[in-house]
């Protein structure tokens, strides 16, 4: 995207933000990151269903209570991509830049104006017969100094507002991270994985090495839950997630795909390299000696099975994932705790 397009996007985001804040105030909606995301999407028209629902609520004069705001967020924002949060942040940044520039210009203009008048008054003091002019100049100087004081107050207020905006931006960053993170493991969630996969395929150019992926599933995980309970089961899931993280690097990323299933995305990696990564992960997990924290009794050997697929040019994302899943199923069929590469 060109620089001009980026600037236009930022300006649009800032304009939507300027419209959003008064609208939220009018309907007594608290200024939380979640509510910003809802009303920003409403103003921008990104989600026609959300816009229709809020228009209906406004028409019915329905109060926007905390419960209703949460319901709107869960229904229209939380389950969608996180671009709305990014747009709000983009708008905030643009507004911050514009306010900063305006205040700096105002302060500089006031200082320059006062300096010019002071110098002119000094010259006038050296002349005879211009008392009236001198009085006028002094009045103007006093007015200018008042203007400077106003500018200083504006700067002080600006610093306060800057802090507020920075805190809001940090909160939005945390909210975005929560939106793309699996809460149990800290890995990417399924939504974030699909977004990352789309980005990787968008960067993939003809002639380069296509990406690979490895899908993992914990063997006999139901037995772990039935024997030790779900808290131990969660601990095993976190352990597997840590093993994935320790065995990837660079542009690689790991995600919890669902339940006890995981995916590792390996950009620019041939099938042999993806197999090697998967086998290292299997080795790390199978050699671990996990014990219960309460009784110190061993949990028994934990193993995972894996399926590896290499991207085919022009392939649909879900077909790519499905081939890895079929290879994983083959590993389960062949005895578990092994890696199968799709197409071998």
Which residues belong to the active site? 260
**Residues contacting 21, CB < 8 A, separation 6+:** 31
Asked if 214 and 276 count as a contact pair (C-beta separation under 8 A), the reply is no
Pairing mode, if any, of strands 212-218 and 304-310? antiparallel
What is the C-alpha separation between 332 and 327, in angstroms, rounded? 9
Q: Nearest-5° angle of CA 133, CA 136, CA 138?
A: 110
Helix 3-26 to helix 33-44 angle (10° resolution) is 110
**Residues contacting 72, CB < 8 A, separation 6+:** 38, 50, 53, 54
Helix (H, G, I), strand (E, B) or coil at 253: strand
Q: Which residue has the tokens 């040019």?
A: 313
Token pair, residue 66, equals 């905390």
Report how far apart the first and last C-alpha atoms of the chain are (Å, whole number): 40
Report residue 309: phi and psi, to 5°: -135, 145
Single out the residue of 258, 236, 249, 276 nearest to residue 321, CA to CA. 258
What is the C-alpha separation between 299 and 236, in angstroms, rounded? 9
Asked if 232 and 292 count as a contact pair (C-beta separation under 8 A), the reply is yes
């Amino acid at each position: 995207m060109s620089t001009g397009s980026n600037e236009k996007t930022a300006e649009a985001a800032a304009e939507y933000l300027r419209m959003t804040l008064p609208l939220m105030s009018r309907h007594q909606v608290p200024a939380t990151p979640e509510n910003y995301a809802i009303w920003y999407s409403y103003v921008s028209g990104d989600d026609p269903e959300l816009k229709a629902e809020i228009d209906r609520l406004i028409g019915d004069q329905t109060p926007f209570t905390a419960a209703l705001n949460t319901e709107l967020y869960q229904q229209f924002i939380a389950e969608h991509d996180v671009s709305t949060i990014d747009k709000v942040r983009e708008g905030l940044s643009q507004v911050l830049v514009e306010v900063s520039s305006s205040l700096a210009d105002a302060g500089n203009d006031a200082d320059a104006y006062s300096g010019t008048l002071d110098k002119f008054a000094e010259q006038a003091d050296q002349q005879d017969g211009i008392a009236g002019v001198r009085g006028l100049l002094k009045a103007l100087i006093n007015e200018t100094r008042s203007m400077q004081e106003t500018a200083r107050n504006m700067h002080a207020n600006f610093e306060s507002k800057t802090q507020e905006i920075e805190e809001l931006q940090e909160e939005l960053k945390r909210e975005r991270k929560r939106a793309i993170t699996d809460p149990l493991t800290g890995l990417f969630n399924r939504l974030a994985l699909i977004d990352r996969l789309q980005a990787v395929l968008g960067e993939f150019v003809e002639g380069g090495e296509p990406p690979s992926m490895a899908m993992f599933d914990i063997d006999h995980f139901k037995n772990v839950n039935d024997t030790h309970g779900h808290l131990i089961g969660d601990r095993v899931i976190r352990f597997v997630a840590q093993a994935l993280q320790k065995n990837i690097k660079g542009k690689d990323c790991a995600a919890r795909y669902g339940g006890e299933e995981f995916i590792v995305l390996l950009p620019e990696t041939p099938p042999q390299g993806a197999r090697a990564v998967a086998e290292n992960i299997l080795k790390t997990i199978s050699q671990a000696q996990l014990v219960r924290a309460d009784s110190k009794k061993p949990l028994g050997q934990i193993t995972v099975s894996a399926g590896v697929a290499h991207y085919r040019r022009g392939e649909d994302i879900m077909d790519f994932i499905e081939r890895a899943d079929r290879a994983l199923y083959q590993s389960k069929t062949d005895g578990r705790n092994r890696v199968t590469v799709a197409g071998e």
